[in-house]
Amino acid sequence: MRRFALLAFAMLALAAVAAGASGTWAAFSSTTSTGPGSLSSAADWTAPTVTASVIAHSASGAGVKSSGTYAVYANVGDNGNPASGVSTVTANVNSITTGQTAVALTTCSSSCTVGGVTYGYKSATLTANSGLTNGASINFTVTPKDAANNTGTAQTFSVTVDTTLPTGLASVAAHATAGARIKASGTYYVYANASDAGSGIDTVTANVNTLTAGQTAVPLTACSSSCTVAGTTYAYKSASLTADSTLTAGSKTYNITATDAAGNATAATNFTATVDNTAPTASAVATANGSGTLNRPDLNDTVTLSFSEQMDPASIVAGWSGSSTPIVVRISNAGGAAHDFVTFWNSTNTTQLTTLGSVDLGRAGYVNTGATVTFGASGTASAMVQSAANVTITLGTASVTANTVASTTTMIWNSANTPADLAGNLASGNARTEGGTADAEF
């Protein structure tokens, strides 16, 4: 006990001397060992270091603008053995905000990630000086101290001033990627493009209150799939929205706002959405001879189905963009006095494309009674392509030679009510009789 008392007194004396003396002193930790009166201590003589720091207005990345708000973020390592722990972290940002030479950074508990890097320390919100020069790289320093009173070296970092607005705004509101149309009570997306040569785009928002009541600040995020509408690829896309049930046909205005990482925001820029509430109809059907025998269906002959407006190709065949795609065409006769019918099938000839309906050729005789001739099941495939409101099917290789029919006929296209237009309106499913003078087909 006497030895412990003497040792304790000695340590108190050393502490008293240290308190009255100048210089840096280390923290000690004491432990007892198995032997009576044994005592050990360990000192932290190593200063902490700043491993990373950034000045940022938003989580998107580094950047600051004149008169803009920002925070200072930092990561600090304390490598003492044992480490006494970080005590304080301060930043000198006097070159950005006059007078701020020792801004305190505290342990970060929320919104701690900037540009994909998570920081352990963060300052309160600061406001930059007015008149900062665009493009200027401004230095600031961060200094750490540990609980043993070891002060680390002030580490220098920099931030680039960005005072320019985002540019290149473009936008569409669309139900289908084939074209920009929407309808009352229909679903749609808002797409946009925006660019920023300085700190980079932070947010893009849409005010579509004229299309969907109450939606004044819809966030558009980086687009990762189905980003191309009518041939234009967009970088930003909203979640699915639903148009108001009372939305009337015609042009409606909505606007887009883009903000960069430094906080520069564009003025709201207006764009136009086209509302279409009318169901499409079958408007025409025609055949044409290709390179084969006139009035006989064979390779390279065509069947053209015309709608009252452009259809969404993906509503005809899932995933179809409207470009040339292989299919199989069948011309069949049910027997007796039945007319010959044209039907359309998928490329493996296993599933009928009922979305296109069928075509009554107006008489029998193109194929034998009770028979079916396929076009494109083997050899050259039949091909289907969309151009505006027209869907044209070019016949592939025939399974057997069809018959030549010299007499004139009038076709009837029995269309379906399952395909939809670009706004999402389902077709009427009407029967359309071939117009003009009766003629021999193919």
Q: pLDDT digits over 53-100, tens only?
A: 999 999 999 999 999 999 999 999 998 888 999 999 999 999 999 999
Per-residue confidence at 440, pLDDT binned at 50, 70, 90?
confident
Q: Is residue 161 exposed (0-12), middle (13-18) or buried (19+ Cβ within 10 Å)?
A: buried
**28-47 mean pLDDT:** 56
> Is 385's pLDDT higher than 90?
yes
Diameter of the chain measured on Cα atoms: 129
> Mean of the per-residue pLDDT values for the chain?
91
pLDDT, tens digit (0-9, with 9 covering 90-100), for 297-328: 999 999 999 999 999 999 999 999 999 999 99
Task: Report DSSP state, residue 20.
Answer: H
- For residues 339 and 405, is the Cβ–Cβ distance under 8 A? no
Domains along the chain with CATH numbers: 49-160 (2.60.40), 167-275 (2.60.40.10), 282-433 (no CATH)
Does 219 sit behind a cis peptide bond, omega within 30 degrees of 0 on the bond before it? no
Residue recorded with tokens 């191309």: 228
pTM: 0.86
**208-225 mean pLDDT:** 98
**100-126 mean pLDDT:** 98
> Is 7's pLDDT higher than 50?
no
Q: Please, how many CA atoms are within 13 Å of residue 238, restricted to the half-sphere of its CB?
A: 25
Residue 406's pLDDT is what?
A: 87
**Least confident interval from 23-37, 148-162, 286-300, 357-371:** 23-37
Residue recorded with tokens 């660019």: 195
Residue 12's pLDDT is what?
A: 31
Rounded distance between C-alpha atoms, residue 17 and residue 11, angstroms: 10
pLDDT, tens digit (0-9, with 9 covering 90-100), for 409-422: 999 999 999 999 99
Instruction: Please count the other Cβ atoms lying within 10 Å of the Cβ belonging to residue 257.
Output: 20
